[in-house]
Amino acid sequence: KKILVRMFTEYKDLTYENISNISVGHIYNLRKSVHYQRLTKKYEKTKPRIVNIGERRKPTPNGVPGYLRVDTVHQGDMDRQKGVYHINILDEVTQFEIAGSVEKITESFLVPLLLKLINKFPFRVFEFHADNGSEYINRQVANMLNRLLIKLTKSRSRQTNDNAQVESKNGSVIRKWMGYGFIDQKHAPEINKFYFDIFNEYLNFHRPCAFATEIEDRKGKIKKVYKQENYMTPYEKFKSLTNSYSFLKPGITFEKLEEIAKRKTDNQIAEEIQNTRYKLFNRILPTYSS
């Protein structure tokens, strides 16, 4: 359409005087005419271009920390009111886990929190894996990860185990501590403060996790067993890795991490976190009494 107008107005070609006034829709009507199709040997309609965001594959960390998995936990709806959303990020190798909460899973709420959560990991991050939810597979999140030089991957179709590790943590950690009942989204800042003040420290420095040992049986089948000596905190697991110091972020040292791990005992922080959660629930859930 614009070319037709320019041929008449810019180049003063009078043969385009009438056709420059027709609508874009009528141009397509002319292209459907028998006369036009006889003159044109090949005609293709405009095809939408699909731009894939993120690579569809299962993460393969090969024993290296910094391969994160993310998932969302929704705290229910009530009377057309949306509940708060918990964002749970887990490192596959060390089981380092950082949780946060937002009112809504829109870019304006989610992207700043994701950046804050990623920055809380003491080691460099190489990959960020999510399911196919639009809250993570979008341009805003992809651009943020690109700036941090982090690769974005997403779960494969009909492969439910691709993100199973963080999904299991949703139940054993987030649901265990925050429950299944409705919590209004307006309380997201208070819950977020609880996570960042004490909860994430407890998860990574004082809560032992099970780490599997792979053994091969007589038939050659690989079996995972969980030995007592392989129960350790995510921090202890990270520290036990070969050349673990090489994965630390600039400005982070094991001396600083050791101070965090030793400033409270496991029982002290467990008691403190229980009291803090009790006070939190009394503020955001008036009927809470347990």
Instruction: Tell whether 128 and 8 lie within a shared domain.
Output: no
Per-residue model confidence (pLDDT) at position 156: 83
Residue 150 lies in a domain: yes
The answer on 12 and 62 residing in a single domain is no
More confident residue, 121 or 1: 121
Alpha-carbon distance 131 to 137, whole Å? 8
Residues 259 and 190 in one domain: yes
Based on the domain organization, do 65 and 208 belong to the same domain?
yes
What the block records as the tokens of 132 is 């196919």
Let me know whether 8 and 66 are in one domain: no
Domain that holds residue 220: 55-284
Return the axis-axis angle of helices 107-119 and 139-147, rounded to nearest 10°: 30
Q: What pLDDT sits at residue 84?
A: 94
Residues in the chain: 290
pLDDT value for 31: 76
CB 115 within 8 A of CB 147: no
Say if residue 152 is in the same domain as residue 197: yes
Total domains in the chain come to 2
Question: Is residue 72's pLDDT more than 90?
Answer: yes
25 and 114 housed in the same domain:
no
Same domain, 22 and 112: no
Domain harbouring 243, CATH code: 3.30.420.10
Same domain, 9 and 105: no
Q: At 48, is the pLDDT very low, low, confident or very high (cuts 50, 70, 90)?
A: confident
Whether 113 maps to a domain, the answer reads yes
pLDDT value at residue 64: 95
If pLDDT is split at 50, 70 and 90, which confidence band does 184 have?
Answer: very high
Question: Do 34 and 78 lie in a common domain?
Answer: no
pLDDT of residue 79 exceeding 60, the answer is yes
| Cβ–Cβ under 8 Å, residues 92 and 61 | yes
